[in-house]
Amino acid sequence: MTTAEISIDAGSLLDIEAVMAVMDDSFDAAFGEAWTAPQCAGLMPMAGVWLTLARRGDEAVGFSLSRVVLREAELLLLAVRRDAQRSGTGRALLDAFIHSAAARGAEHLHLEVRDGNAAVKLYSAAGFSEVGRRPAYYRGSDGQVFDALTLAKSIHN
């Protein structure tokens, strides 16, 4: 799958350094949404978890981390390096998540996103809608807390 010169492919635990480089560049520490390397590396080998990378040439510029359990799939993380944003890579990774989740048998998709994150617009445009709110779910670098929205979308295989 290709968007302009971006390719979207499966990743693995071997890509953890590239994932963390994108993570550190893309997420603003003020909001407390990023994961640590041990959190990512601990989850990746688990059943039902898959990593998708967006590459420009050999270089990773974005990734998504997802999990499927029976008919439910969750988008755990989605990030694109700042210098590669606003050119369709986030949407391409989200589309890949939706297609891959369907291929793995999922019928319901969900994700958590900080209330106020620009990504909400991306998710809404892809058909996700708000089904819940978790108060004070994220804690930013200065101790400020932010609600998480739970967004969901049904798909039909």
CB of 128 to ligand COA, least distance (A): 12
- Which residue lies nearer to ligand COA by CB, 68 or 97? 97
Q: Which of 43, 49, 102, 122 binds ligand COA (CB under 6 A)?
A: 122
How far is Cα 81 from Cα 24, in angstroms, rounded to an integer?
9
DSSP state of 46: S
Q: Which of 44, 65, 78, 98 binds ligand COA (CB under 6 A)?
A: 78
Q: Which of 52, 66, 89, 100 binds ligand COA (CB under 6 A)?
A: 89
Q: Give yes or no for residue 88 binding ligand COA (CB under 6 A).
A: yes
- Which residue lies nearer to ligand COA by CB, 81 or 106? 81
How far is Cα 22 from Cα 60, in angstroms, rounded to an integer?
7
CB of 108 to ligand COA, least distance (A): 18
| Positions that interact with ligand COA (CB under 6 A) | 26-27, 33, 77-80, 85-91, 113, 117-119, 121-122
